[in-house]
Chains A and B, each alone.
Chain A
């Protein structure tokens, strides 16, 4: 449908407006961005203010944040573009500080929040659907493809040693400081009862308690069991003898039943035909 009449908007899900975009001039069939005004019921954050924010679905993988902001620049000044893997409340601005330690960007289609300076931008963007396909890779700002893209990526993958070292050092200093503070706090609370009179036992103090882990608990139980077993006398009374014999026969019976079942199954699959 879209291929036949490139100008007509593609059927969009209710509430959304479809914007046709193309990679470049040479591509024939356009791709659809689905846009709508960003609206959430609870706590619209500062990052995505309502009315001024455009919610964009189906952002193709080759489309970067810069390309998006250029794309929508014709509708009004763009304040920020937030590209995400999944839609969600906006507290993303936090850990973007580390250049090296990111959890790897996911590939595939993404969503974006485009924040305009003025609410009019949102309406203008929706109106773009009436126009022809927009171009993502333009002559002035081409999106890199093929070998040049790979070369660029390779060049990016080479880290600057000094920079990395500096970042690691800075992080570790912070971390050490944090740990130190925690330890100091723990040392201060050591042996001091709280308002109800409880004393917290830690691993650090003069009388370290058991670590509160699952493994430790199991170990204790196991030890108890062994202790009990050592004390018990085996085959001392006649009834114990009887019991073990009975147990033995029961074991054999169980094994026999299991084997029988296995055989029946194999027989059903004709596993006993030698050739």
Chain B
């Protein structure tokens, strides 16, 4: 018996599978059910509270808490979520004790380091071979003497003391004050101070490395700024991952005169830097603001600590707020590397807002987060800097002076140090952009702000539409030469990456001005290194990554229109674009400079930014094409149709839709039908631009067929090659409702068949289209496509559902047949028209979908995930992109699709795709509640 039962069972199982995965009403239910399927893991249970518990008189405390939640947080869920997150990232008390003990040990060891005799700075023979000076000593020769003396003072500064340090990297900053005797006059010049500082740390490192206390003793650059080496100490054993003590060295207080380090002052002599013996007479020395700033930073470390601790007293929300902000920055990869938006910077920003009374001390962590984001979103520090200095001392440099020297300005309480010295304007704009997005997310009640802001990481690959790498950063050396950046090089101590980066980014920003919302770069990051190896060179930062976020309307335009030819700006435009710029006459009669990029297909047009980037970098920065690794369309080859096709099938899809529109217009205007056509809707994926390989117009080859004259029929011939397959494109043709429709399902079938016959006849008569009617549909051959026309009557599903109860009551019950019909005639057409609309808003939606489908099929998953389901999943990426922007290139869309599949919490949350914004907040809420009931 089992023998014959098997196939039947298999068929049934398959059908159930299909039922499971075809999206049902509201387009989400299919998804939901699939999610609910795996039972054993814990799922949400509906809350059962007894009446007594619900209605017991509230205590004062409880009332307060409920009220506080309403006032200070978005909702109670957000409050709980934030509390949990803070628990995860803050340091536990038990760990703190261990760290304190470790710090005491370090203190003991440091004071026991012996002094050394005085030598020249360049004479480093006293240093044992197993320690290398953590500084790139180029040029090597400097004047001055150095000797090691035990530190005057040792103090802990920074986030650890304030209690704002955040996992996973617990850093404790310890400042060692170098005694005054080490320094001489003029130590401010020519990196002498920096060399001494490095030697000082090297000596400490050499002694500490002999101790058993430490698991590792390493060097690193503070925020990858190679003028500022620091010593990293980690405890022995299993605590090694727990904490990193960062040893900074700073000069004796009041040794340097602050006025020497104003942003306009010079402290690196050109002659020394270029190793010329005699300085050039008469030439003014350029200002070295970054160099000056690096020394000033060391002098104010302690006062910053005092400042911050005075702000954070009586302000419990600050600690939480800073932890949240740090997580926010970490998730956006903004908090590490040269010119980062570090945690320290955020603390200072909060202090600034407290000073300006935009934050008051009763605020919760969430409100601190909101206010800081709000401030960032609305203030452009690269145009209008801010200062923490209270009294306006006339001799201190003004904000304008700072703006002159730095791209981003945020001056510390002393009025001397720019805290954002290394930050590029582009980086700040990225921060600003992120803050703006985040504010929008927080204000939108439809999105889970917590998840989007704090739990989703935003790596560049998934954030930006196009990314490219600069593979060989050493090529930037020649870029510096080409752009004449000698002064910047001197200022940055020879770091050509840091010197060239702002200029390259501004070059790209200008070139892509109209096309790009944002041009961002990754932060150069040097790894730490063991003390017995040479410090990493500038080129060891690896490859630099750039990301571009497009304005979808302009990103693909082929024309770059410049000023009119007789204007003075024209020359500027010509030099900027080089040979590409040519004079063109436009339709309005003007003659303008213009650049025209070559691109014929849509996919080539998407790559115009690549052409621009390559052209500009070659022209202005001498960076060869071979060292640019551009990833914008790597995957598009898999959706190219045919062997020698140029395009990715998007044009084909457009022509299909054109033909379909024409046919539907013809159907509307058909004369001689007993009932009028009320709507024509497409069902086939090609009609919503998501068919992987759209049909290509075909003509039958007559010699391959046998003709059956009597029935106007072409039959394929057995001997000849198989004729090409033409996919029928299904569309639904809704007929007007009328009393003449029979109310019986069998009769409706007959009437529909009669309509199919008549439609075929009329189309043939009035529009000379070849039609082939059948019982369930009519095939229409038009422009080389075959459209499969299916007539629908809106009451038919209802009639199929009718059931009469024993009492004679008429009831409507879903049956398999009615559900199938509803899916075919209601839901699929609705989906198709909605997604067609989505494609009009986001031109890359279709291509993203097709990539996703290709991937699903390649993983052999297409049996269990239907096409419609993939379409909806991809649509959700475009409709609810938070925390990203809607994708503007298929590549980034596809990457996010993979990420969605991998990381979404399918078990606990239904994915609700809000097509046409048809669902309101309340509806979504009730859907969620329903789901909670479903899963029990």
The contact of B757 among A57, A164, A272, by CB within 8 Å, is: A164
Point out the residues of chain A lying under 8 angstroms from B75, CB to CB.
Answer: 259
A151 and B757 within 8 A (CB):
no
B66 and A212 within 8 A (CB):
no
A263 and B711 within 8 A (CB):
no
B44 and A272 within 8 A (CB):
no
8 Å CB contacts to A: which residues of B797-848?
Answer: 808-812
Point out the residues of chain A lying under 8 angstroms from B7, CB to CB.
Answer: 108-109
A164 and B810 within 8 A (CB):
no
Any B CB within 8 A of the CB of A157:
yes
Any B CB within 8 A of the CB of A43:
no
Any A CB within 8 A of the CB of B55:
yes
Any A CB within 8 A of the CB of B724:
no
A147 and B454 within 8 A (CB):
no
A101 and B84 within 8 A (CB):
no
Any A CB within 8 A of the CB of B917:
no
Known: A13-B1, A151-B715, A249-B66. A256 touches B87 (CB 8 A): no
Known: A108-B8, A214-B809, A274-B454. A171 touches B47 (CB 8 A): no
Task: Name the residue on A nearest B756 (C-beta).
Answer: A164
- Give the distance to chain B from A66, nearest Cβ to Cβ, in Å: 21
Any B CB within 8 A of the CB of A117:
no
B77 and A257 within 8 A (CB):
no
Point out the residues of chain B lying under 8 angstroms from A257, CB to CB.
Answer: 47, 49
- Give the distance to chain A from B786, nearest Cβ to Cβ, in Å: 13
Any A CB within 8 A of the CB of B908:
yes
Known: A272-B87, A274-B88. A159 touches B44 (CB 8 A): no
Give how many A-B residue pairs fall within 8 Å (CB-CB).
Answer: 156
Point out the residues of chain A lying under 8 angstroms from B331, CB to CB.
Answer: 274-275
Any B CB within 8 A of the CB of A260:
yes
Point out the residues of chain A lying under 8 angstroms from B80, CB to CB.
Answer: 259-260, 263
Q: Which of the candidate stretches B112-120, B566-574, B741-749 sits at the interface with the other chain? A: B741-749
8 Å CB contacts to A: which residues of B56-96?
Answer: 58, 63, 66, 75-77, 80-81, 84-85, 87-89
Any B CB within 8 A of the CB of A241:
no
Task: Name the residue on B nearest A273 (C-beta).
Answer: B88
A271 and B455 within 8 A (CB):
yes
Any B CB within 8 A of the CB of A239:
no
The contact of A159 among B47, B81, B761, B774, by CB within 8 Å, is: B774
B457 and A217 within 8 A (CB):
no
Give the bracket for the number of chain B residues in contact with chain A: 35 or more
Any A CB within 8 A of the CB of B54:
yes
Task: Name the residue on B nearest A245 (C-beta).
Answer: B58
Point out the residues of chain A lying under 8 angstroms from B58, CB to CB.
Answer: 249
Contact with A along B689-726 (1 / 0, CB 8 A): 00000000000000000001001010110100010000
B330 and A274 within 8 A (CB):
yes
Any B CB within 8 A of the CB of A155:
yes
Any A CB within 8 A of the CB of B750:
yes
> Which of B4, B331, B751, B905 has its CB near the most chain A CB atoms (within 10 A)?
B4
- Give the distance to chain B from A71, nearest Cβ to Cβ, in Å: 18
Known: A211-B810, A214-B809, A275-B457. A160 touches B722 (CB 8 A): no
8 Å CB contacts to A: which residues of B779-811?
Answer: 808-811
Point out the residues of chain B lying under 8 angstroms from A184, CB to CB.
Answer: none
B750 and A155 within 8 A (CB):
no
Q: What's the Cα separation between A52 and B327 when bound, in Å?
A: 84
A161 and B757 within 8 A (CB):
yes
Any B CB within 8 A of the CB of A254:
yes
B76 and A256 within 8 A (CB):
yes
Contact with A along B758-790 (1 / 0, CB 8 A): 001100000000001111000000000000000
- Give the distance to chain B from A239, nearest Cβ to Cβ, in Å: 14
Q: What's the Cα separation between A58 and B715 when bound, in Å?
A: 34
Any A CB within 8 A of the CB of B42:
yes
Any A CB within 8 A of the CB of B284:
no
Q: What's the Cα separation between A255 and B742 when bound, in Å?
A: 51
Any A CB within 8 A of the CB of B128:
no
A254 and B88 within 8 A (CB):
no
Point out the residues of chain B lying under 8 angstroms from A273, CB to CB.
Answer: 88
- Give the distance to chain B from A1, nearest Cβ to Cβ, in Å: 14
B718 and A147 within 8 A (CB):
yes
A101 and B746 within 8 A (CB):
yes
Any A CB within 8 A of the CB of B3:
yes
Point out the residues of chain A lying under 8 angstroms from B908, CB to CB.
Answer: 262, 265-266
Task: Name the residue on B nearest A110 (C-beta).
Answer: B4
Point out the residues of chain A lying under 8 angstroms from B713, CB to CB.
Answer: 155, 158
Known: A57-B4, A275-B457. A262 touches B77 (CB 8 A): yes
Any A CB within 8 A of the CB of B11:
yes
> Which of B85, B747, B750, B808 has its CB near the most chain A CB atoms (within 10 A)?
B750
Task: Name the residue on A nearest B908 (C-beta).
Answer: A265
B809 and A215 within 8 A (CB):
no
Any A CB within 8 A of the CB of B45:
yes
- Give the distance to chain B from A188, nearest Cβ to Cβ, in Å: 20
Known: A165-B754, A249-B58. A58 touches B4 (CB 8 A): yes
The contact of B76 among A32, A259, A267, by CB within 8 Å, is: A259
Q: What's the Cα separation between A88 and B715 when bound, in Å?
A: 39
B88 and A272 within 8 A (CB):
yes
The contact of A108 among B11, B42, B711, by CB within 8 Å, is: B11
Q: What's the Cα separation between A268 and B44 when bound, in Å?
A: 12
Known: A108-B11, A155-B713, A165-B757. A272 touches B85 (CB 8 A): yes
| 21 A-B pairs whose Cβ atoms sit less than 8 Å apart in the complex | A100-B775, A101-B775, A109-B3, A147-B716, A147-B722, A157-B774, A158-B772, A159-B774, A165-B754, A171-B750, A172-B751, A179-B742, A213-B811, A214-B810, A249-B66, A261-B47, A262-B908, A263-B81, A265-B44, A272-B85, A272-B88
Cβ-closest 4 pairs across A and B: A213-B810, A108-B7, A259-B77, A250-B54
Chain B residues close to A by CB (< 8 Å): 1, 3-4, 7-8, 11, 42-45, 47, 49, 53-55, 58, 63, 66, 75-77, 80-81, 84-85, 87-89, 168, 327, 330-331, 454-455, 457, 708, 711, 713, 715-716, 718, 722, 742, 744, 746-747, 749-751, 753-754, 757, 760-761, 772-775, 808-812, 905, 908
> Apart from A32-B3, A250-B54, A272-B455, what are 11 other A-B pairs with CB-CB below 8 Å?
A111-B4, A164-B753, A165-B757, A171-B750, A214-B809, A259-B76, A263-B77, A265-B43, A271-B455, A274-B89, A274-B327
